[in-house]
Amino acid sequence: MFVVREDIIISINRGDAKAFEQLYSTYYVYLCAVATKYVYRTDAAQEIVNDVFLNVWNNHETLTHPVNAYLIRSVQNRCLNYLRQQRIQEVPLSEVQESLLNIRESQVEIESQPLAKLENKEFEEKIYVAVNKLPPKCRDIFTQYLYYDKSYDEIAKANNITTSTVRVQIKIGLSKLKELLEDIYPLFLLVFNFIQK
């Protein structure tokens, strides 16, 4: 899972809007995917995620590092509230609708259980193992890009290489990871924000 650096959270605590924008852009797509999994509606998922970020900004002084688990749980809780609201508004519900709402609610609640956390950890470990199988130079560059959220320019400067070399190494890394990760590769792209990058 991608992680926003602690210094960014500290800047957000101080009310830095640019640092907050970085947090938002890092997690927005992933959190929308999490919300859609429960509410099945893109517009509702986006609204839920935006509400979570609004709440984060309104309480920015209390935000702590790391934020991953907090943001995911906040989205899950709002999804649960949304589903319960649906139950109230859509009366009378058919038996099928009632069952679907029950399943979706239980899905949200199950996600906070240890087994769900274990599944997330297993996913992260698969990524870690796959990245470690990359050729040394590629792995080093890819790790800086993936886990430390450095730009092509920052990596190029730090490693005394050209930006185009960094770009090529990232492409090589993605190509090899596609082979190594197989069916979880699309989820990897989404979770690590490659869609926006």
Residue 63 φ then ψ, to 5°: -65, 135
Reported confidence tier of residue 89, pLDDT bands at 50, 70, 90: low
- pLDDT value, residue 102: 56
Among 22-31, 72-81, 87-96, 109-118, the range scoring the smallest mean pLDDT is 109-118
- pLDDT value, residue 160: 92
Mean pLDDT, rounded, for 96-102: 53
Instruction: Determine how many CB atoms are found less than 10 A away from the CB of residue 173.
Output: 21
Instruction: Give dist(CA 69, CA 81) in Å, integer.
Output: 18
- pLDDT value, residue 145: 84
Q: Does 174 have pLDDT greater than 80? A: yes
Mean pLDDT, rounded, for 149-165: 89
Q: Which domains does the chain have, with CATH numbers?
A: 6-112 (1.10.1740.10), 120-191 (1.10.10.10)
Reported confidence tier of residue 143, pLDDT bands at 50, 70, 90: confident
Q: Does 103 have pLDDT greater than 80? A: no
Instruction: Give dist(CA 17, CA 15) in Å, integer.
Output: 6
pTM of the model: 0.49
Taking CA atoms, 91 is separated from 40, 76, 81, 126, in Å, by: 19, 23, 16, 44
Is there a cis peptide before residue 186, judged by omega within 30 degrees of 0? no
Instruction: Give dist(CA 33, CA 19) in Å, integer.
Output: 22
What is the tens place of the pLDDT at every residue in 20-62?
998 998 888 888 888 888 787 788 889 999 999 999 999 999 9
